[in-house]
Structure 1
Amino acid sequence: MINRIRDIRKEKGMTLADVAAACEPPTTAQTIGRLETGMRNLSLVWMNRIAAALQVEPEMLVRGKESPQPKVVAKLTDSGAESLSTQRDAILPTDLNSGAPLMALAIETSAGEYRPGDQLWLRQLPPEDAPKAINRDVLVPRKGGRFAFGRLIDRQGKRVGVLPPGLGQKQLVVDDPPWFGVAEMLVRRL
């Protein structure tokens, strides 16, 4: 089995020390490094500890040799496209499971930075997490099966204010939404 700890850790922007500190009980960066490289055996106990620290399902840490995985082969910097010193597995947002469900919004008309044909993936969160999503694009359910979509600009008590994309749009206020979806990834065909 090939372990994907390093790829998931890098995709989440964590260092070896970050993962080590997030383990319960905490461990050392050296131990995490040895588990990543296969110098130390990845037992079920370690899989569960590291998966919890990375906030993914334990089975995401390993994959069989037969399953092809897309690769990150280059990075775009100020000086242009540059190759990586070593390629790494591309981790899909659906693989980085935070426990909150994913949903998608189909864009059928241009609105702000969105174009027809775009697909916006959102992570469903409870209303008490609204402060974490201020200034992010959100989808908020409204009464009568309707939705509000736009930048979350305000939260007062059980009310949220959403500014729709595009010029000249007025703020929408939604009372006591049961959840909201925070934009996580934009998929656009080229």
Structure 2
Amino acid sequence: MINRIRDIRREKNMTLAELAEACDPPTTPQTIGRLETGMRNLSIRWMDRIASALGVDPETLIRAEANARAQIVATLGDGGPDALAAPRDALLPTELGGDEIRVVLSIETSAGEYRAGDQLWLRQIAPANAGQAINRDVLVPRKGGRFAFGRLIDRQGGRFGVLPVGAGQKQQVVDDPAWIAVAEMLVRKL
């Protein structure tokens, strides 16, 4: 069975030791390495433990041999593009997120750094956790089925200040939203 533990671990910037420690109960980096390479069988029990430690669904850890996946073949750094020693699976944002609810904002008109045709993937958080979203782009539901979108610049109690992305627009204040969605990934066709 082909597994994607190594690809997901690398996407999450975790070492073998960090993943081994995050398992419940903890295990050894050598065991994780053997599971990644297929030298040890990946049982349902191991899938549950490792998926929980990575914050993904267990079925994300395996892939069928017949399904070709997009591959990461190079990285772009200061010195230009560098080939990877071996290609690895490119993972969708939904595969990396675990249980958090994701929403997508479709951009129809260019505004700020966003272009028409872009898709902005956002992760919903509770308003109580909005401190982690200060100075980040957010989508906030308002009353009457409307939304505020822009940079979260202020939080006072249950009131949130959102600065729209367009030039010259005034801050919008949203009282007691049910959730806040924080921008995580921009998808743009070239």
d(CA) in 1 for partners of 2:66, 2:97? 23
d(CA) in 1 for partners of 2:157, 2:17? 38
d(CA) in 1 for partners of 2:90, 2:64? 15
Post-superposition offset of 1:97? 3.0
Unaligned runs of 5+ in 1: none
2:7 is aligned to 7
Q: How many residues get paired?
A: 190
TM-score scaled by length of structure 1: 0.96
1:94 is aligned to 94
Aligned-partner residue type, residue 91 of structure 2: I
Post-superposition offset of 1:31? 1.2
Post-superposition offset of 1:167? 2.2
Post-superposition offset of 1:96? 1.4
Identity %: 68
TM-score scaled by length of structure 2: 0.96
d(CA) in 2 for partners of 1:171, 1:16? 45
Q: Secondary structure at the match of 1:150?
A: strand
Post-superposition offset of 1:181? 1.1
Post-superposition offset of 1:132? 1.4
Unaligned runs of 5+ in 2: none
1:137 is aligned to 137
1:57-76 matches, cutoff 5 A? 57-76=57-76
Aligned-partner residue type, residue 148 of structure 2: A
| 1:27-57 deviations in Å (ceiling 9; x for gaps) | 1111111111111111111110000000001
2:48 is aligned to 48
1:30 aligns with 2:30: yes
d(CA) in 2 for partners of 1:64, 1:95? 15
